Every structure is written in structure tokens, then in C-alpha cells.
Amino acid sequence: MRPSFFHHLHPPTIPAAQAQWRYTLGAGGIAVMLVLVLLVTGALEMFFYIPTPDQAGPSIQTIAFLVPFGGLVRNLHYWAAQALIVVAAVHLLRVVFTAAYVPPRRFNYLLGLALLVLSLLLDFTGYALRWDEGVRWALVAGTNLLKTVPWMGGGLYALAVGGPEPGGATLIRFYAWHVFGLVLPLVILSAWHLFRVRRDGGIAVPPPTARATAERISRNELVRREALAALIAGVALLALALWRAAPLAPPITIGSVGIAEARAPWFLLWVQQLLRWGDPFWAGVFVPLALTVGLALIPYLLPGPPRSQLGRWFPPGGRLAQIITGAIALLMIGLTVLALYP
């Protein structure tokens, strides 16, 4: 078979042991597929969505209820966005738990972390575009957190909100960030991330002398497996989109009687739980920022395992990084459960 463009994105052959699902989890590839779904469905939503406080809700209802397949497009966009956060987090854990971040892959680890942060920002800005009672308090609390940053808080708030309180200026700002300001860096960094995978020698593998077998698979087989993963993920996504519609509440009206409980979007529930206990700056800004910086520093500060230990789960040389990252993940999950079931 004559290799196509997609085949040429892959190395000619890779070691069979590291091409297995149980090693990669397929998370990076599925993340790429989800980003593609998000770009297409997002572009389609732009044909109808109107980023003004009066029109946001009605235009979303037009998409969801009137436009043929509009509900499906919106649900796919919603579920792909939620799945991207999960898949990207799983990908990060896989990389840390297999110590794939050791040189020469340190820089690509940083690119990946930046992509996770961009995905979270995209998810939050997209969530706010609903401009309904369901997002109101998360928007108020989230933007007020910026004010608590020492000496630059007021400036950050003005930059993000564009006014004295969340309003029309905020919605159009979030829209601009969501459809362009964050998407452009996401696409560029994604391409860079994929390029660096090839440049750094493909997936992390042990040196030839440390391999159990010399068996390799061809790029044809690799592309076949990726297509299969995309197909399975696509079916799952479609099932989710048909099973549960993306949420939509009545539009924000000033002075409306609040709802009994105001929940943050699910991926920020752990921060909301921290905020119930702590000072806004420390719990809501410092801790999330410190955790991100801490994760970024792992390949630079902690000793990595020798190359002979690469290509498998939980190499003993990366124990400290595994324990720290595992603890952070458990902490976030624990706080989320606490927020859901107080």
C-alpha cells in the first residue's frame, strides 16, 4: 500500500510492546480526535450562536431545538469537551506513571501540560457562553477570584471581565477567547506536541538491549489501531450525545431569585470545595497554580528512571514523581466527591 499523509505522520515501525493499549491507553490519539470533533462542531455552532446577553440563550435554543441535527451538534460539542478533559488528564497520568517525561521528552511534557491548561480554559469559557442561571455564580465567583490576586488583581479582572461586573462585555470577551484566542494556541501547540513526539524518537521505549522481544509493528498496523480507537471513541461519543443533552437553564436575569445551590462546572468542583474552607486567594488561585507549576517541574526537579526502565508502567526510578502525582490526582478526586456529596 502506498503510504498516505496520515501514514507519514507515523514512524515506519515501532516496538510492538509499546504499541499496546495497555501501555499507551490510546489517550493522546483520542485527544487529537476529540479536538477535531470540537473544531468541526464548534464551527457549526458559530453559524447560529449570538454572543449577547439577550440572544445567547435563545440562539442556543435555536441550535438545540430548531436547527436540523443542531441538538446533536451541540451535544457532541459538549460531550467531546468534557471527554477531552478526562482523556487529557488520563494521558498526563500515563506519561507520569510510565516516566515518559524524562529527557529528551521534558519539553514535550511541558507542551502537553500547556495543552491541558488551554483545554480547561476553553471548557470554562465555553461553559460561560451558555449565559444562563446555571453558569451565573461560577462566573461571578470565578472572576471575583481574579480580584484577590495581590497588586494586579484589579487589572486582571478588568482584562477578563471588561467591565465593573460580568455583563455583555464579558460575554463577547469570553466568546473571542473561546472561538479564537484560545483555539489558535491550542491548534499550534497540538501540532508542535505531535511533531515533538516524532522528533523525540516516538513513544518512550527502552533501549534495544533492554527489550524483551525485538518485535515491531508497521505504521500500517499503527494507523489501523488508531482508526479503530477513533471509531470506538466516536461511537461512545455519539452514544453520550444521544443519551444526555448538554445542559441549558433559563437566561441570567438581574435580580432573579437564586437557585438553592450553585455548583461549579464538574472539573472545578475540587476548587469550589477548597473555597468552602479557605481564603479565596490561597484556595482558589494559589493552590491550583502551585499544583500546575509543581507538575511542570516534575521532569526538571525529580530524578527520572534510567532509559532501561522506560516503556513500562511504574518504573521504580520514577517512584517519587508517581507518588506525588498520584496524591494530587486522589486529592482532586476526593475533593470533587466531597463537593458532590457533602
Least Cβ distance, residue 251 to another protein (angstroms): 16
In whole angstroms, how close is the CB of 120 to another protein at the nearest point?
Answer: 19
Least gap, CB of 167 to another protein (angstroms)? 6
* C-beta neighbour count of 16 within 10 angstroms: 14
Question: Which cell goes with 88?
Answer: 487529557
CA dihedral 284, 286, 288, 292 (to 10 degrees): 160
Placement of cell 498520584 in the chain: 326
Are 273 and 342 in contact by the 8 Å Cβ rule? The answer is no
Query: Measured between alpha carbons, how far is residue 64 from residues 128, 131, 236, 240, 242 in Å?
Result: 17, 15, 20, 15, 12
Question: What residues line the site for another protein (CB under 8 A)?
Answer: 137, 140-141, 144-145, 155, 158-159, 162-165, 167-169, 254-262, 272, 275-280, 283-284
Provide the minimum distance between the beta carbon of 157 and another protein in the complex, in angstroms, as a whole number: 10
**Residue 57 CB coordination number (10 Å):** 19
Q: Would you say 98 or 272 has its CB closer to another protein?
A: 272
> Of the two residues 168 and 326, which places its CB atom closer to another protein in the complex?
168
The C-alpha cell of 50 is what? 449570538
Nearest distance in Å: CB 317, another protein: 38
Backbone angles phi, psi at 318, to 5 degrees: -110, 25
Tell the smallest beta-carbon distance from residue 340 to another protein (Å).
14
CA dist 23 to 93, 196, 228, 323, Å?
12, 19, 16, 19
The cell numbers describing 226, all together, are: 488508531
Of 53 and 305, the one with the shorter C-beta distance to another protein is 53
Closer residue to another protein in complex, CB, 1/261: 261
Distance CA 190, CA 124 (A): 19
Cβ nearer to another protein, comparing 30 with 145: 145
d(C-alpha 38, C-alpha 280), whole Å: 33
Which H or E element spans position 216?
Answer: strand 216-218
Q: Helix (H, G, I), strand (E, B), or coil: what is residue 306?
A: coil
Helices (H), the chain: 5-8, 21-24, 27-45, 56-61, 70-97, 106-128, 133-147, 153-161, 168-176, 183-199, 219-243, 269-277, 287-301, 319-340
Task: Specify the residue, 24 or 273, whose C-beta has the smaller distance to another protein.
Answer: 273
